[in-house]
Structure 1
Amino acid sequence: MSSRREPPRTDELLRLQDVHKVYGRSRNNVAALAGVSLGFRRHSFTAVMGPSGSGKSTFLHCAALLDRPTSGSVLLDGQDLTAMRERSLTKLRRNRIGFIFQSFNLLPALTVVDNVTLPLRLAGKRPNRRLVAEVIERTGLTERRKHRPGELSGGQQQRVAIARALVTQPDLLFGDEPTGALDTETSLEILGLLREAVDSGEQTAVMVTHDPVAASHADRVVFLVDGRVKAELERPTVQQVASHMTQLGAWARSQRPVGADRGL
């Protein structure tokens, strides 16, 4: 029997602890995040919202370690990712984290199948045909598997992006405005796929969005203002989210000097 002990497994998959992100130096620095502490339960769906310049994008980049925090810790299963070297971090992201972006980020010369399996091939892994077929079917792309992005609608391209994120069977899914470029009906279909990924018990999802309807599909909404967590909602409704955004937007504007806009 091996004497190696597995780390204790808790209900919390991801935690940001007192995370700060400062851009620039001296008098011209900008604090995009100012001490964010948040935990994310396994198999949960969290939406992150806030007024313009609240730090949403910076939060996502730091949570996924696409950008290193200036200080503080980002822990995945209790392991501090901020202490890892870049090579190890890249490997961890490939194996455990999936990304879905507003702009799809598909390669135009590749077919649906080739775009979906690209992360596996970049990691030097041979795609499992059964798993690839299952993910493509799950995202409604079976009839489009040989098409290229230019032959697909925006919604279909986002489905490819979701399939690409799911094919590595990640623990975490990060979405950066994944429905921002889509019409209402297509957005609901994409949100349904994200909701299904969480409800199947396989993924934990964190999505940055400006849309109260999108946020209402999440289990929890976290509101950022000026780089800080200002409020949270559990089991949100569209009306509750919209009301909070209106109030926080007005509060944020009242706190800033005229002409100040960090745009982060």
Structure 2
Amino acid sequence: MTNDMREALLGDGADAESGSAEVVRLESVRKVYGGGKNAVVALDGVSVGLRKGSFTAVMGPSGSGKSTFLQCAAGLDRPTSGAVVLDGVRLASLGENRLTRLRRERIGFVFQSFNLLPALTVRDNVGLPLRLAGRRPDRAAVEEVLERVGLGGRLRSRPGELSGGQQQRVAIARALITRPAVIFGDEPTGALDTATAREVLALLREAVEGAGQTVVMVTHDPVAAAHADRVLFLADGRVDGEILRPSVERVAERMTRLGAAGANGANR
């Protein structure tokens, strides 16, 4: 994002930070749901940076804070305290309208459930983020990104005519069309069979290596996580280490230890 684009997005008084190699940074982020005796601490002082052009998997036992991490990092939820900086923009400085605009223009999302509109063609589903941002989709750009995900021949198809793997490819193309600063994936292979999941992960890997995109993926699957450059582990709302250049075996072993530690803590 250029300085002019940031100024146009933020307006007066907002806090923009440039020059960092990190596209996402969480600074002492704490997220608490509820209050009093019913308060639940989902994130407890998380500080971490995610580099541009990297593929990061976020893992942890159930209730570790993975989903809350993604929601806060992507500007879908606001932290109780701490700060999130995304593409040089401090999110706390944005009102809801500007935050919505930033999500549309600078963030791509890929979900487990695809979230395609059944009445729209593949081409129109991919172009939808541009229309929501008030921009007319460039036909050539839409067709090019669909070629990249292997669906150049299905422009006029509707989601119901596609397999689950093909629908997820459309979702990835939709996430890529705005050339976002970062793509967030929430269990993007969770509804797919093993072979199709491998193909989808290869597409995300290609987006990082071939196009310099940044991907942050929440997953419970060690095989999926092994496609990343880095696996970040959460436990009880805190960062509990990481693995660089992960293998399936190392990730699975770490998850087993985290699960055992959680079980022991619950039994005390």
TM-score range, shorter chain: over 0.9
The answer to whether the aligner puts 1:208 opposite 2:218 as a matched pair is yes
Cα deviation, residue 69, structure 1: 0.7
Q: 2:44 aligns with which of 34, 37, 45?
A: 34
Normalising by structure 1, what TM-score?
A: 0.93
The answer to whether the aligner puts 1:154 opposite 2:184 as a matched pair is no
- The amino acid across from 1:205 in the alignment is V
SS of the residue corresponding to residue 142 of structure 1 reads coil
Q: 1:44 aligns with which of 48, 51, 54?
A: 54
Note if contact 1:176-1:208 (Cα within 8 Å) is conserved in structure 2.
Answer: yes
Instruction: Pick which of 208-217 and 124-133 moved more.
Output: 124-133
Distance 1:98 1:128, change over 3 A: same
- The amino acid across from 2:143 in the alignment is A
The answer to whether the aligner puts 1:255 opposite 2:248 as a matched pair is no
The answer for unaligned runs of 5 or more in structure 1 is 259-264
Aligned to 2:247: 237
Cα deviation, residue 79, structure 1: 2.5
Aligned to 1:58: 68
Note if contact 2:109-2:185 (Cα within 8 Å) is conserved in structure 1.
Answer: yes
Note if contact 1:65-1:82 (Cα within 8 Å) is conserved in structure 2.
Answer: no
- The amino acid across from 2:171 in the alignment is A
Instruction: State the aligned residue count.
Output: 255
Q: How big is the alpha-carbon RMSD for the aligned residues of Structure 1 and Structure 2? A: 1.5
Q: 2:134 aligns with which of 124, 148, 154?
A: 124
Tell me, in whole angstroms, the C-alpha distance in 1 between the residues paired with 2:135 and 2:173.
Answer: 17
Q: 2:92 aligns with which of 82, 101, 110?
A: 82
Note if contact 1:222-1:233 (Cα within 8 Å) is conserved in structure 2.
Answer: yes
Distance 1:213 1:98, change over 3 A: same
SS of the residue corresponding to residue 178 of structure 2 reads coil
Aligned to 2:256: 246
SS of the residue corresponding to residue 153 of structure 2 reads helix
Deviations 1:159-194 (A, max 9, x none): 010000001110100000000000011001000110
Cα deviation, residue 113, structure 1: 0.5
Cα deviation, residue 83, structure 1: 2.1
Aligned to 2:124: 114
Aligned to 1:261: none
Tell me, in whole angstroms, the C-alpha distance in 2 between the residues paired with 1:122 and 1:22.
Answer: 31
Normalising by structure 2, what TM-score?
A: 0.92
- The amino acid across from 1:202 in the alignment is G
Tell me, in whole angstroms, the C-alpha distance in 1 between the residues paired with 2:93 and 2:136.
Answer: 30
Identity %: 65
Aligned to 1:262: none
